[in-house]
Amino acid sequence: MSGAIVLLVLLAALLHASWNALVKAGPDKLLSTVLVACGSAVPAALALPFLALPAPASWPWLAASACIHLVYYRLLAAAYAHGDMSHAYPLMRGSAPLLVALVSAALVGEVLSVRQYGAIALICAGVLAMGLWRGAGTTPPSRRATLFALFNAAVIACYTLIDGIGVRRSGAPVAYTLWLFALSALVLLVSVVGKRHALADYGRRYWKTGLLGGLVSVASYGLALWAMTAAPVAVIAALRETSILFAALIAAVFLRERLGVRRVCAVGLIAGGAVAMRFA
């Protein structure tokens, strides 16, 4: 990978951690998630009339991804409702690239080198260590948060592979990404139709947060999807997980979550894995 691709993926990682922090900071995690999803649909709806449709070969993958993102958003909200971001985020983002690496060769036809697998393993080890270890003075992690996060890791692995295939078949990465955000928001809105009055009241109070989170989410995922067209899916998926570095900093500084020394050491593993990925 070129240095420019690496920098773009790292920027995507920072943006991803940022919109997750906005969801975690909201008083109602599910409704905050819905607002962010709807906020991401706004720029998509404005831009799509000026873009050509993705190739028909990508449409089944696009529809499948939108449905899977519904599960992703619901599990994300549940994990943050029951646990700290510094606990749930590493588990969700750390387990997924390992699953992607195990199956991407068979589904996408990519063959990774031994050094690339080693870098993926190093990043995964660091992220999982940060999620499972707790420092002195912190409360035990919630079992529900752990389960929701681990289930969501499998969901993330699924949509990473689906989108990696879909965006390549689309012939239009930007259009594919924007259609994905628009359809995902629509599916999520339908799923909470029973809470429409609460959502309307919540939206009046926190619409700025939802719009900001949506714009950041679009930029983050769009950069990652574009990178998948220029480098192996498993490598991009693993490098993007350096978002845990930014998530840990955001959780400590802005959300006031306490990080133990062992979790800080785990950051070194992730950073080492990112450097190894750059030179693999």
In Å, the largest CA–CA distance within the chain is 54
Domain boundaries, the chain: 3-279
CA dihedral (163, 90, 28, 47) positive or negative: negative
Higher pLDDT, 56 or 256: 56
pLDDT band at 155 (very low <50, low <70, confident <90, very high): very high
pLDDT-based confidence at 131, cuts 50/70/90?
Answer: low
- Cβ contacts of residue 142 below 8 Å, gap of 6+? 82, 83, 87
Lowest mean pLDDT among 91-95, 98-102, 254-258: 98-102
Q: What is the pLDDT of residue 135?
A: 52
List pLDDT tens digits, range 8-25.
888 999 999 999 999 999
Radius of gyration of the chain (CA): 18
pLDDT at 209 over 90: yes
Q: What is the mean pLDDT of the chain?
A: 86
pLDDT of 37 above 90: yes
Residue 86, pLDDT score: 86
DSSP characters over 128-194: HHHHH---TTPPPPPHHHHHHHHHHHHHHHHHHHHHHHHHHHHS-HHHHHHHHHHHHHHHHHHHTGG
The pair of three-digit structure tokens given for residue 226, joined into one six-digit string: 């574009």
Residue 193: Cβ-neighbour burial (10 angstroms; 0-12, 13-18, 19+): exposed
Q: Which two tokens stand for residue 91?
A: 């588990």
> Is 112 a residue whose pLDDT tops 80?
no
pLDDT at 185: 96
Number of H helices, E strands in the chain: 11, 0
pLDDT of 122? 83
Distances (CA, A) of 113 to 11, 65, 87, 188: 25, 28, 31, 39
CB 141 within 8 A of CB 83: yes
The number of residues in the chain equals 280
State percent of the chain over pLDDT 90: 45
Give the confidence band of 49 by pLDDT, cuts at 50, 70, 90. Answer: very high
* Range ranked top by mean pLDDT from 103-107, 157-161, 188-192, 264-268: 188-192
User: Is pLDDT at 57 greater than 90 in this prediction?
Assistant: yes
pTM listed for this prediction:
0.85
d(CA 38, CA 5): 28
pLDDT of residue 280: 62
Mean pLDDT of 162-168: 88
Q: Is the pLDDT of residue 107 over 70?
A: no
Band the pLDDT of 130: cuts 50, 70, 90: low
